[in-house]
Structure 1
């Protein structure tokens, strides 16, 4: 994983079914060049970067005779065409594009019509995290199929320890067939179809440029490159062409693009179609419907009695007194807690298993090796991930806890992170936990801010920028650590070398962790809360994950999202909403109840009825209120002062949703 790009030119696109009326297309100077895209991907520090160019000609209606062939031999280069296809398979994750290429016969090679050929440029940047042999994308199989793939396989296809998942995916696609048993490499040879897509929840960034009159090419890219317009500091122009953004987040899903010539015209045309997911379970998760939304009075009474029992039990456990015996009324609570815990642990295990991490260099197994890091605030979600990672990762390896602050040691996230790492050292004293303190000053980040603005694009609000800067700095892992547990001891400069970063995205959306969830509950009761949570999950690809992935990947790191594992989502959806959250309770208590109450016990498995994080031995984290990274790091406060004059003025202007004003200079 690192990033991919695809550029198609020389094709007339019919896109009305996807983006409304298509704009008449004329040839204009491109906003981004191929080299721009390569540079943007190369900046991420991939282990390899490769590209492949293919030409696709219009079909010819008659053969050439010998004299025509003789007159053209030696004047034309052999032209390689590509009949494109990508087969949907069982794996549900990440971005892909596939093409089947073959050498055309001599008559086709020599046709003058090659001047109107479509060009396909495939670019693949690989941050190799799996397999024992280095690879360079795009990959080509024995049938001349081409694959560029941005992601990791965590289910659906079995991969062995020595295998690279991109190679395994290509083999699986080549062996797929239709209902008649024919291989797609055969039946698609004449279909001239390209398949591309983005996973169901948008965990990997994939931007699209639909052809316009200003730039008639079709582009897909993991990141928006820096354009000449951006270099002129006119970011508003850079992000928009004739009132429309150049880049858009590609909606999650599977797409196909058939490329062929219309009768009597000779030019290649294409329509783009979006397809439904074939996996019924995945479609249910996308629809995000919960069976039990509105409780009966007796359901609420039973649930709150259990909560009271849990609170009494955690106080007994924390004071080292024998816990109360569990009776029949606690059994449902235990089942829900254990089910969530098992699903989360398995999700973390799949994303942290050492055999899935690229180890061609055996020196990487030294004790000092840091295979993984966690975006760490010391709050509930990151503490749960840390405790689970400790269970899944060999104890000889260090774990870096990356914490960013714009207010030194006074930022809320810094305070909770310091408390959190002490708690982790108590429950896992044999593990070396590295709290990496990343301190920054917004006023000194002029160049960096400009760069992050290009990364978050097409997002363009101050909230997006604040989150993007905080994530970008945290992922870089460039800060300082304390030698020893004493905070007054020697401070040492440190830069995390971990290339995999666990992130808690998805926990708040699924467990009602945002303030607006409480508002919706008060205004619309349980049904209103459910609809708001459903909206959050169905737009997380657009509002959150693409932006976050681009900011993290820019540092040569891969973000992995255990809370967004399909099995975790399914388990949480199967639990009644009133057991997941109880927003009649105060902030820091009822929100994310199924996670919060489970984090309060400081000893693993002390009682049989405490919920997820209680089973992990985390007590202090359970009492912390939810804080988004822009608030916990205090970048939002500094941004408000800089751009609006004060927090009060920013709040009056609803600063988080205000579009960045680039005409008055960079923020």
Structure 2
């Protein structure tokens, strides 16, 4: 996981209508410096930080404008800081003859790394012998083969180096011109299974490629060129200064505008047009189609069936295990009873979801060779490579139980729980009950419930910091969620000295900070399995069709409402958030199941909502977790209650003001 940023200057950029969700708005006058970006990215990637420039030039001495050729040169990080060094390299021929070449534009790439894969230390940006430049924030879990001892960024760079140049013209499939099965850049991006944000300079086509995976699991914010700031900027996170310089800005109608916006999911190119070199260098931004048919189907989010006939609905609620076996005699899936007195009948759809989730967690908890280096410097029995953002609710309990199955038994697992009301917060109560249930099903695992206690009234500076992290999200609901996630991901809290032996009153709590660099998060479960209260409302008003449309809307906007914000808040601690419920194969399995097998909102809360995940929980032996109602982190941790009191005076006043949608006052 990494932090990446790009600053493009000196290029007049044409934004095609399909690129922007709306026309550029008026904006505050903001100064975003390279140092600001580096400081923000360093928190995400504490292991290394690098920077390189691509200088775009042309030969001034050619008499014919038509003959003027655009050339580029990559400048090393040290040379960026020393203009004299750059001039010296130019005169030495490393950047051509400086007196004859005119600089017309530049692209500065910045990359910070939190290294989780590969044996050798890695520094971004990656630059190859062809002059291609890559900065990458993501994980490759499939689509491109990565050996266990390799770094996926290096492998991606090698793969992209073999791409043809025709993709910048809209081509997405195999290259027919090359005749050797070459792929285009969009095709390679579309192949990746896993979260990613990528910025890539393709030297052969003089094209800048950038984009974000189809579900926006990695943050990438953008500043499109405006009159006040003609630069084009991309970044994993907005620097603190860019938020608070613009805190008082609003247009006459009271609508707030921002220097940054979330880059919508997709693949983009910025191709340089050298035809106007005598005046300026122009570039056009285009958005490209995905080159993967399965991915395109997932983005459409069309469920196989969502409107049951009466006999189908009745059958799904009462069908026995033997009946399932009778209907699916040729199925390769196996379904078994649980052991013990609480034997439960399970459906084939739930079994398929469990299998997909298990595979997803295995991919996200695999012990790459980098962890072996860590173990050399710490006692094995104390090392915890993976933690879970833990409320004790249904989703986090499933992830924890699956992580126990997938992770080497020598490692411990940290369960990170945040509370703004001490031991009385609902999430703290359910977390304590949850860890007891986990210890029953996995008594040999070293479970640590990390209790992260906070007082909202003492977080003045921290609140300002998180306000910059959630940007361009800007409501009090976003801030409440962001603060809770940020504190939880820090892992800085308390653990009980002898958990499970003495009563809670007798346990001694010790300071503890989780060093896990990977944090599993349950995002995506509610959107795909109807876990929100509004889903029940839509079902009452619009039936199965209305429910399906609301869930589809939730999944298709999750990149803008949730994922960018959550990634920025968690990653600021030098941790990588991984989202098993948003694995491509998990999404596909859930879409292949009829909606009435996924949820049944005629039943009460804790029973029918997220029905299929409750079946999965029972299959894992989590009977208590299987009946827990949905509770959002801002309410379960009680940060929303404390925030409402601080900002609006009371919960009642906050509800009357629709506090969740109120824009933050940064003054």
- Which category describes the TM-score, using the shorter chain as reference length? 0.7 to 0.9
Say whether residues 1:289 and 2:284 are aligned partners.
Answer: no
Residue 239 of structure 1: how far off its partner (Å): 12
1:15 counterpart residue number? 15
- 1:543 aligns to what SS in structure 2? helix
2:260/2:471 contact within 8 Å kept: yes
2:575 counterpart residue number? 557
1:456 counterpart residue number? 470
Between the two proteins, the alignment pairs up a number of residues equal to 601
Residue 228 of structure 1: how far off its partner (Å): 6.7
Distance 2:542 2:642 in 1: 34
1:131/1:359 contact within 8 Å kept: no
2:133/2:202 contact within 8 Å kept: no
Distance 1:131 1:278 in 2: 28
For residues 280-309 of structure 1, what are the alpha-carbon distances to aligned partners after superposition, in whole Å with 9 as ceiling and x for unaligned?
Answer: 000000000002010001111112224999
Aligned-residue RMSD, C-alpha: 3.2
Distance 1:169 1:273 in 2: 22
Residue 104 of structure 1: how far off its partner (Å): 12
Say whether residues 1:420 and 2:420 are aligned partners.
Answer: no
Residue 418 of structure 1: how far off its partner (Å): 0.1
Select the residue among 119, 140, 157 that pairs with 2:106: 119
- 1:133 aligns to what SS in structure 2? coil
- 2:387 aligns to what SS in structure 1? strand
Select the residue among 557, 563, 581 that pairs with 1:539: 557
Residue 647 of structure 1: how far off its partner (Å): 1.1
1:573 counterpart residue number? 591
- 2:298 aligns to what SS in structure 1? helix
2:33 counterpart residue number? 33
2:408 counterpart residue number? 394
Say whether residues 1:154 and 2:141 are aligned partners.
Answer: yes
- 1:360 aligns to what SS in structure 2? helix
2:43 counterpart residue number? 43
Instruction: Flag structure 1 segments of 5+ consecutive residues without an equivalent.
Output: 65-78, 84-101, 311-316, 327-332, 599-611
TM-score (normalizing by structure 2): 0.84
2:249/2:257 contact within 8 Å kept: no
2:266 counterpart residue number? 253
Select the residue among 71, 75, 81 that pairs with 2:73: 81
- 2:444 aligns to what SS in structure 1? coil
Residue 175 of structure 1: how far off its partner (Å): 2.4
Worse-matched range after superposition: 258-267 or 14-23: 14-23
TM-score (normalizing by structure 1): 0.84
Say whether residues 1:498 and 2:511 are aligned partners.
Answer: no
Select the residue among 625, 628, 632 that pairs with 1:628: 632
Distance 1:653 1:23 in 2: 29
The within-5 A match list for 1:233-632 is: 235-237=247-249, 244-263=257-276, 265-306=278-319, 320-321=340-341, 323=343, 334-355=347-368, 357-361=370-374, 362-364=376-378, 366-484=380-498, 485=500, 486=502, 487=504, 488-596=506-614, 598=615, 612-632=616-636
1:81/1:103 contact within 8 Å kept: no
Change in Cα spacing, 1:263 to 1:439, as seen in structure 2 (3 Å) is closer
Say whether residues 1:203 and 2:217 are aligned partners.
Answer: yes
Distance 2:549 2:587 in 1: 16
For residues 167-207 of structure 1, what are the alpha-carbon distances to aligned partners after superposition, in whole Å with 9 as ceiling and x for unaligned?
Answer: 11111111234222366899965521111110110000000
Say whether residues 1:644 and 2:648 are aligned partners.
Answer: yes
Shift >6 Å, 4+ stretches: 20-26, 102-108, 182-188, 238-242, 307-310
Distance 2:411 2:306 in 1: 43
Change in Cα spacing, 1:103 to 1:81, as seen in structure 2 (3 Å) is farther
- 2:434 aligns to what SS in structure 1? helix
Change in Cα spacing, 1:114 to 1:658, as seen in structure 2 (3 Å) is farther
Distance 2:285 2:491 in 1: 41
Distance 1:108 1:384 in 2: 56
- 2:209 aligns to what SS in structure 1? strand
Instruction: Flag structure 2 segments of 5+ consecutive residues without an equivalent.
Output: 65-70, 76-88, 165-174, 186-200, 324-336
For residues 75-123 of structure 1, what are the alpha-carbon distances to aligned partners after superposition, in whole Å with 9 as ceiling and x for unaligned?
Answer: xxxx95369xxxxxxxxxxxxxxxxxx9999799447685552111000
2:321/2:347 contact within 8 Å kept: no
1:62 counterpart residue number? 62
Residue 579 of structure 1: how far off its partner (Å): 0.4
Select the residue among 621, 637, 656 that pairs with 2:660: 656
Change in Cα spacing, 1:322 to 1:438, as seen in structure 2 (3 Å) is closer
Distance 1:547 1:239 in 2: 25
